[in-house]
Structure 1
Amino acid sequence: MRVVIAGATGVVGRQVVPLLVAAGHEVVALSRRAGADTGKGAVRTVAVDALDQAALGAAVRDAKPDAVVHLLTAIPAEINPRRMERDFALTNRLRTEATRTLIEAAYDAGAGRFLAQGLAYAYDPAPASAGPADEDAPFWRHPPKPFVTTLDALRTLERLTSAADGLVLRFGHLYGPGTAYDPAGGSTIRAIRARKMPVVGDGAATFSFTHTHDAATAVLAALAHPDAKGALNIVDDTPTPARTWLPALATLLSAPTPQKVPTLAARLAAGPWATAFLTQLRGATNTRAKSLLTWTPRYPSWRDGFTAELKAYAAGHNEVA
């Protein structure tokens, strides 16, 4: 199968490309830079501006793909929660404008499969007793104002993908190389080490994590299951509240125990989005993805994945030293 990967140099794309090559697929990697490092094997890289409609469309049509995978984002390495709309403006355009272009070009080229990257933590908050959200749960009905434009873009991406009989892979909080949770210097890891990421209120926000390798294997599985359409949660098996995973991750990092901050104080200091992020998020269940894609995460728990990442980082750091 010839597969176009839009966003091939992102944190998921870098993991997807070598898996596709190893599985015998032909890969056309779309990147902002010519000759970007997209992995080993038979990969053709095409430099293109994803917001240049004519150029992006031509790159896809020229590739004549059997499938198109949309992993385009432009999320800053460190997000200012008070400037979220600004920090996500480009990603929101990629989720709307670039999605339209990719779908139209995929149709013109005769591609039979379209996959797109979504989010598994945009669900409407619910009491803990409601459990993790499945794919039928509604998105956030009354989100914090800074999240409104991002949520609108996600809804547009999902609507366009569904209309094209495609599949949105809703990833959880991504961790692994190059993410905010990268032990080599990711922004969240730095904040935890500096004791600048507190447990807010009762720490009830439930996180569903996804290692970037597990996200990549889900892409591979989705290409092999063309009947899977709509949206699927690609998350680990262990949705966990912030009051549990934050102190546990601090311990794994040998970092100070996170501070506890009242909700009102957090809202005054960091704004409504950061506060909601640490107090209201709902976790997600991967039951449907496991069934429809015959996919299972390598790391069923974030604890397993973070432990593996930290061991790998320590081993590499010691070799360099």
Structure 2
Amino acid sequence: MRIFVAGATGAMGVPLVKRLVAAGHQVTGLTRSESKRPLLESLGATVAVADVFEAGRLGTVLREARPEVVVHLLTALPKTGPMRAADLEGTNRLRTEGTKNLVEAASSAGARRLVAESIVLVYGYDNSGSAPLTEEHPLARTAPRPWLQSTVDAGLVLEETVLSAARAGRLEGLVLRYGFIYGAGAGSTDGMVDRVKKRRMPLLGDGSGVWSWIHIDDAASATLAAIERGRSGEIYNVVDDEPVTWRDYLTHFAQVLGAPRPFQAPLWLVRLVSPYAALSLSNLLPVSNAKARRELGWRPEYPTYREGLATLASGARARKG
């Protein structure tokens, strides 16, 4: 298939392009910068240079690529991951205005399918209990802070834009709600490695917040499965098999690196220093991947954070060798 990847040079884009090329697909990678051309060409992709906010140019490169499938992986997060609310503003715009432009351009170029990246944060900040959230769970309509609400709203706009195009018969639109992505090459993980080694990543309160993670390679394999087997108009949670408390995740992260045990910081103090971190890391987001397993025939190579984090240790040993 001819596949157009928007966000091809990002943390998610690079491993996906590698998989697509290895699977025999003809890939065009979108980048805003001519300087990223050598990277994409080294991966075996054709290069399209355009800004997603310039609708005219975006439409031109899509018509030239003539893709059957468009993949939307556009984000604008800092290299070491978001640390404050302002770090999310660029991604919010990509998920609203950028998604609209990409859907319009894909449809006009005759693309058959569009697969878009969303995030499990659309389930919100008011969940309770330990039952994993499924795609049928009610979505967030309110968040505890306006700047968190804007992030949730941007995810919801992205999903509705893609799914409404599917309902209208313009595209086979489907959405992947990724868990929190980690692994070597993911900026947030690389930044976390440095902070954990220097004991600058504290455990907040009792560490009872629950997140659902997905290794970067498993996120790529799930995206490939959605391209090939996903159903139009559907949403799939892309997470591993085991939601985990921040206490267990961070403690194991430090053990894998041979780093000191993280120190504990009172939650009230963290709220004063970083309200974003306090709210995000205390959130409860246990999420189920049952639908993706059932309908996409997908299985994570790293079913829990323990197997996934082990790759950080093996990578470190390889670099030392």
Q: Distance in 1 between matches of 2:233 and 2:263?
A: 43
- The runs of 4+ residues in structure 1 deviating greater than 6 Å are none
Letter in 2 for 1:260: Q
Q: Identify if the C-alpha distance between structure 1 residues 205 and 180 changes in structure 2 by more than 3 Å, giving closer, same or farther.
A: farther
Q: Identify if the C-alpha distance between structure 1 residues 232 and 128 changes in structure 2 by more than 3 Å, giving closer, same or farther.
A: same
Deviations 1:214-267 (A, max 9, x none): 111111111111425331111110100111111111111111211222221211
- Whether the 8 Å CA contact 1:121–1:284 is kept in 2: the answer is no
Counterpart residue number, 1:160: 161
Q: Distance in 2 between matches of 1:260 and 1:193?
A: 15
Deviations 1:104-151 (A, max 9, x none): 11111221110011112342332333x221112233332333312211
Aligned match for 2:181, one of 174, 179, 183: 174
Q: Identify if the C-alpha distance between structure 1 residues 148 and 281 changes in structure 2 by more than 3 Å, giving closer, same or farther.
A: same
Alignment: residue pair count: 311
Q: Answer yes or no: is 1:113 the counterpart of 2:117.
A: no
Query: What secondary structure sits across from 1:251 in the alignment?
Result: helix
Deviation at 1:19, TM superposition (A): 1.0
Identity %: 37
- Whether the 8 Å CA contact 1:121–1:208 is kept in 2: the answer is no
Counterpart residue number, 2:23: 23
| Structure 1, unpaired ranges of 5+ | none
| Structure 2, unpaired ranges of 5+ | 167-172
Counterpart residue number, 1:310: 313
Letter in 2 for 1:179: A
Letter in 1 for 2:77: I
Counterpart residue number, 1:219: 223
Query: What secondary structure sits across from 1:51 in the alignment?
Result: coil
Counterpart residue number, 1:252: 256
- Whether the 8 Å CA contact 1:96–1:156 is kept in 2: the answer is yes
Q: Identify if the C-alpha distance between structure 1 residues 39 and 240 changes in structure 2 by more than 3 Å, giving closer, same or farther.
A: farther
Letter in 2 for 1:126: N
- Whether the 8 Å CA contact 1:30–1:48 is kept in 2: the answer is yes
Query: What secondary structure sits across from 1:28 in the alignment?
Result: strand
Q: Distance in 1 between matches of 2:320 and 2:191?
A: 22
Q: Distance in 2 between matches of 1:229 and 1:48?
A: 28
Deviation at 1:39, TM superposition (A): 6.3
Q: Answer yes or no: is 1:187 the counterpart of 2:191.
A: yes
Counterpart residue number, 1:290: 293
TM-score, normalised relative to structure 2: 0.91
Q: Distance in 2 between matches of 1:65 and 1:31?
A: 16
Counterpart residue number, 1:279: 282
Counterpart residue number, 2:148: 147
